[in-house]
Amino acid sequence: MTTRAGRRGLAGRALGLWLVAALALAACGERADREGKSESEGEGEATEHAPAPDFEHPDLLGSPVRLSSLRGQTVIIDFWATWCPPCVFQPSELNTFWDKHGKSGKVAVIGVEVGGASVDEIREWAHDHDAVARYPILTGADEDLARRFGAMGFPALVVVAPDGTIDSIHLGLTTANELEQHVAHLLDSDRAS
């Protein structure tokens, strides 16, 4: 027999699970500026099959990473921010993907924090949320870089083909299995070469 308090406890747990699932599927949208306009207004956003804008930012150890130096590999770029609650869920999925493909030399995964967090703030965020990435995390970028890739919310994954063009853009949490499907044609064509 279930008591009223027991039903409330079950309902509370169900609501909590629903909220976690909704948060995981959601994406943080653009932050509005002081005048209420979206920061995404403007030109210069990349689209699929366009050349990926080149950039260089330091990783957490201070070593510079340049996108163009990864040409010839399929590159997964995770644009995220420490202020974005759903972004917490992406590193574990990317770790799974990285563990499977990272040593092949055919795939690179990089995380790009675009919220202006310092190296110490990123490390604290990763530790506090059990979201430690096993792939490089770059610092010093801003939301404008993400917009140049067509990422209009966070987390956002951009897949860059080995030829340096944007293959696809995925807004919101992307699971390792979904990512496998998104890059299968690139990895298959790589094997055929």
Provide the domain count of the chain: 1
Cite the beta strand spans of the chain per DSSP E. 28-29, 56-58, 64-66, 74-80, 107-113, 137-138, 153-154, 156-160, 166-171
Instruction: Please report whether residue 15 resides in a domain.
Output: no
Instruction: Please report whether residue 119 resides in a domain.
Output: yes
Cite the beta strand spans of 25-129 per DSSP E. 28-29, 56-58, 64-66, 74-80, 107-113
Measured CA to CA, the distance from residue 35 to residue 170 in angstroms comes to 28
What is the average per-residue pLDDT within 59-64? Answer: 96
- Domain of 163 in residue numbering reads as 47-192
Instruction: Please report whether residue 14 resides in a domain.
Output: no
Q: What is the pLDDT of residues 150-188, one digit of tens each?
A: 999 999 999 999 999 999 999 999 999 999 999 999 998
Instruction: Please report whether residue 171 resides in a domain.
Output: yes
Instruction: Please report whether residue 93 resides in a domain.
Output: yes
pLDDT > 50? residue 21: no
pLDDT > 50? residue 33: no
CATH number of the domain encompassing residue 161: 3.40.30.10
More confident residue, 121 or 188: 121
Closest C-alpha to 77, from 129, 138, 118: 138
Neighbours of 33 (CB within 10 A): 10
pLDDT > 60? residue 190: no
Q: What is the pLDDT of residues 65-116, one digit of tens each?
A: 999 999 999 999 999 999 999 999 999 999 999 999 989 999 999 999 999 9
Instruction: Please report whether residue 51 resides in a domain.
Output: yes
- Tokens representing 46 are 């990349």
Instruction: Please report whether residue 166 resides in a domain.
Output: yes
What is the percent of the chain where pLDDT is above 70? 73
Neighbours of 49 (CB within 10 A): 11
Question: Average per-residue pLDDT in the chain?
Answer: 82
Instruction: Please report whether residue 17 resides in a domain.
Output: no
